[in-house]
């Protein structure tokens, strides 16, 4: 933990120090992901968001499969 | 400060902050074309839609709390505000994040807005 701490002091989190025009909603997440020394704050947020994104991705793929399976589609139309 | 930048605003963002964006040279656009996505409430349907979009899943759509704009409005050196402190995560994650980190930076910044209201 001490080692991590000294690293953090030397290499500050890019999510925290990056300011100015070049950053926006389109590139911020990638910048944060590519930063090897995320601060605790950004690390927690990124981890939570990544987990949420992968769950969402899974459910999207699931939904698509259900819609694309002909048998399932017939089922759906006969139900309605 | 925001010359040439396109911003999308969730219905939860107040008029004042939108006006500041435009006054600083920003334009208003739809969410797909926007460079910046601003919201004041992650549980608002507009923002929910962003957080469920493919853009978001693919790390191409970070929503920022619109208090970033009031922080910019209230500092001498406009470029010195770290955008990264104003990430607005999906509503369903906020409780968990708050439990680990305490309040969000944009929650601590609320006093800035209140001060501004007092002046007007
Ligand atoms: Zn950070």
Band the pLDDT of A26: cuts 50, 70, 90.
very high
Does the pLDDT value for residue B118 go beyond 50? Answer: no
* Six token digits for residue B27: 């334009």
DSSP states of A33-75: HH-TT--HHHHHHHHHHHHHHHHHHHHHHHHHHHHH-HHHHHH
Q: Which helix (H) or strand (E) holds B101?
A: helix B91-101
Our measurement of the distance from residue B55's CA atom to the centroid of its chain's CA atoms, rounded to an integer in Å, reads: 17
For residue range A32-78, list pLDDT tens digits in order.
999 988 999 999 999 999 999 999 999 888 877 766 666 655 555 65
Distance from CA of A71 to the nearest CA of B (A): 27
Considering only alpha carbons, which residue of chain A is nearest residue B82?
Answer: A19
CB pairs under 8 A between A and B: 80
More confident of the two residues B62 and A16: B62
Q: Does A18 touch chain B (CB under 8 A)?
A: yes
- Determine the distance in angstroms separating the CA of B58 from the nearest CA of chain A, rounded to an integer: 8
Q: pLDDT confidence of B96, banded at 50, 70, 90? A: very high
Res B103: pLDDT: 87
List of chain B residues whose C-beta atoms are within 8 Å of the C-beta of residue A55: none
Whether residue B70 is predicted with pLDDT greater than 50 in this model: the reply is yes
Interface test with B, best of A25, A42, A45 (most B CBs within 10 A): A25
B117: confidence class by pLDDT, cuts 50, 70, 90? very low
Q: Indicate the pTM of the whole model.
A: 0.82
More confident: A20 or A35? A35
What's the confidence (pLDDT) of residue B77? 79
Contact B62 A40 (CB under 8 A): no
Encoded tokens for A79? 């139900």
């Amino acid at each position: 933990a001490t080692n991590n701490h000294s690293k953090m002091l030397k290499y500050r989190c890019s999510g925290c120090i990056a300011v100015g025009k070049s950053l926006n909603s389109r590139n911020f997440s990638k910048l944060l992901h590519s930063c090897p020394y995320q601060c605790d704050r950004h690390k927690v947020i990124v981890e939570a968001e990544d987990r949420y994104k992968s769950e969402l991705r899974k459910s999207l793929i699931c939904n698509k499969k259900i819609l694309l399976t002909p048998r399932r589609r017939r089922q759906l139309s006969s139900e309605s | 400060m925001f010359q040439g930048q396109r911003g999308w605003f969730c219905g939860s963002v107040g008029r004042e902050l939108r006006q500041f964006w435009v006054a600083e040279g920003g334009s208003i656009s739809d969410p797909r074309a926007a460079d910046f996505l601003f919201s004041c409430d992650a549980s608002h349907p507009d923002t929910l839609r962003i957080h469920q979009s493919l853009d978001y899943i693919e790390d191409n759509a970070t929503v920022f709390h619109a208090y970033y704009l009031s922080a910019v409005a209230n500092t001498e050196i406009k470029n010195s505000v770290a955008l990264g402190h104003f990430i607005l995560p999906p509503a369903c994650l906020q409780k968990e994040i708050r439990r680990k980190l305490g309040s969000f930076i944009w929650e601590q910044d609320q006093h800035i807005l209140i001060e501004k209201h007092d002046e007007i």
